[in-house]
A = this chain, B = another copy of it.
Amino acid sequence: MSQLETYITQNEERFLEDLKGWLRIPSISTLPEHAKDVQRAAEYAAEQLKQGDLENVEVIKTQGHPLVYGEWLKAADKPTILCYGHYDVQPVDPVDLWQSPPFEPTVRAGNIHCRGACDDKGQTMMIFKALEALMKTQGELPVNIKVLIEGEEEAGGASIEHYVKTYPERLRCDAILICDTHMPSSEIPALVIGMRGMVYTEVEVIGAKGDLHSGTYGGVAPNPLHALAIIISKLKDEDGHIHVPGLYDKMRQPTETEQKFWQQDPLHLNEAFKQEMGVSQLSGEPEYPPLQRATARPTLEVHGIVGGFVAEGAKTVIPARAKAKISLRLPPELKASEVYPLFEQAVKQVAPKDVKVSVTQLHSGDGLLVSTEAPVIQAAIEALQQSYGRKPVFVRGGGSIPIASLFDQILQAPLVFMGFGLPDDNLHAPNEKYSLAQFYKGIRTIAEFLQRVH
């Protein structure tokens, strides 16, 4: 048994105790009354970094909750890895659905139950302990390390965004390790290699100059809600095809590996997934596998329609104006800046002629796709294969991880999303838990990964 393995084995119990201590701090970033707890959780993280002999450990003040930084940069000629995690957690409501108190870590059936157990104190602690184990057994780290932990991941992440944009030099690195994602099951390791971008818009339709009564004007007045219905129904059909001319032109032909993966779909797009959603059939483009639809195809969704009368009961208003919130999710090869004008044009083309229509972009961001050929991804593959006895699957996320887009854009280093959460970890819900087996395996895998990066 290697020294490293011996160290980890001998210290498992203490690692868990260190995690428990962190979990007991109710660091809910969105509730002002927990601001001091958030601060305490940051200091706790700094202590952990010091315990692993990292240097220049600092609790960095921000406009919001602090960042925690630590580094070890003495591995000459070796790559530098930036490790990211977050120490803030979601609120715990509804409290009465928790089987044990939300901030009292409780082990049941091989899982530790607590808010933050997985997301993301549990996964972040694995980084701390992998670094500690390497340092304590080898007296040094196999690579240069920068650790940056935030306390606003559940609250918009403004402070880390500001920091990354202000000090890109300080964070310069060759790769970024993010431990905040999931595996499809405890047997199937995964690497997230891509996520979609998005364009979020508001489509506003104006009819008459004021609200009208349908008794007097019904039959001669434009109805912006009806116009929106026509626009929306023409933008996307019942089969999920988006009718925005030019949208699909730049779609990349998927690789054979991707196609095979989507078709085999070892993940959650099966009967259990339908049950979880509460539907008898999945929606969307029938000619593509569900996994491809959910992660690699563009989507168009209406999120809300503003205007008219929406209280209880009946009112016969024809509203003067109405607005739809519509977003498109975009695979990485479709750029938000190119898609938005196409969308705007399509809306104007399909709008009924008796109304005025305008489109506003609320925000946008590009997707990203990590090359599986990158050496750092190869190192992650090997580390996961060693821990789990099989190669990881490559997963694309259907949504976006804002911090990943930010890192991608500012630091321009390959991202390694190596996460150990499981689908039933109840993130953001009562009874959040984390598998102890995953926790210990994760520590070993991260240490292995860092040794294999070159």
Contact = CB atoms under 8 A, between A and B. Distances in A.
Interface of A: 196, 198, 200, 207-210, 212-223, 225-226, 228-234, 236, 238, 240, 269, 277-279, 281-285, 290, 293-295, 297, 299, 301-310, 313-319, 325, 327, 329, 352-354, 362-363, 397-400
A215 to B, nearest CB: 2
B215 A277 contact: no
B303 A214 contact: yes
A220 B268 CA distance: 12
B215 A283 contact: no
Given A279-B207, A283-B223, A317 B303 contact: yes
B399 A279 contact: no
Given A214-B299, A222-B279, A283-B354, 13 more contacts: A207-B283, A214-B329, A216-B398, A219-B290, A219-B297, A220-B283, A221-B277, A225-B304, A229-B230, A303-B309, A304-B309, A314-B362, A314-B363
A295 B207 CA distance: 20
A277 B208 contact: yes
A200 B284 CA distance: 32
A20 B398 CA distance: 69
Contacts of A213: 399
Contacts of A398: 214-219
Contact of A301 (B208, B226, B352, B354): B226
B293 A219 contact: yes
A61 to B, nearest CB: 27
Contacts of A216: 294, 397-399
Given A214-B301, A316-B303, A318-B303, A219 B329 contact: yes
Nearest to A209: B278
B226 A236 contact: yes
A221 B290 CA distance: 10
A204 B342 CA distance: 32
Given A352-B238, A399-B213, A225 B302 contact: yes
A305 B310 contact: yes
A261 B90 CA distance: 66
A269 B301 CA distance: 39
Contact of A218 (B212, B294, B314): B294
Contacts of A301: 214, 218, 223, 226, 316, 318
Contacts of A220: 269, 277, 282-284, 290, 293-294
A21 to B, nearest CB: 31
A310 to B, nearest CB: 4
Nearest to A269: B220
The 4 closest A-B pairs by CB, nearest first: A215-B399, A209-B278, A219-B293, A304-B308
A303 B305 CA distance: 12
B219 A299 contact: yes
Given A303-B315, A305-B310, A316-B301, A281 B354 contact: yes
A305 B227 CA distance: 13
A200 B313 CA distance: 9
A268 to B, nearest CB: 10
A215 B196 contact: yes
A225 B316 contact: no
A325 B306 CA distance: 13
Nearest to A228: B229
Contacts of A329: 214-215, 218-219
A316 B303 CA distance: 6
A378 B395 CA distance: 81
14 contacts: A209-B277, A209-B279, A220-B269, A220-B277, A221-B279, A221-B283, A229-B231, A301-B316, A302-B308, A304-B315, A304-B317, A310-B325, A314-B327, A316-B399
Contacts of A354: 279, 281-283
Contacts of A307: 304-305
A153 to B, nearest CB: 15
B302 A226 contact: yes
A68 to B, nearest CB: 27
A290 B226 CA distance: 19
A210 B275 CA distance: 11
A352 B234 CA distance: 14
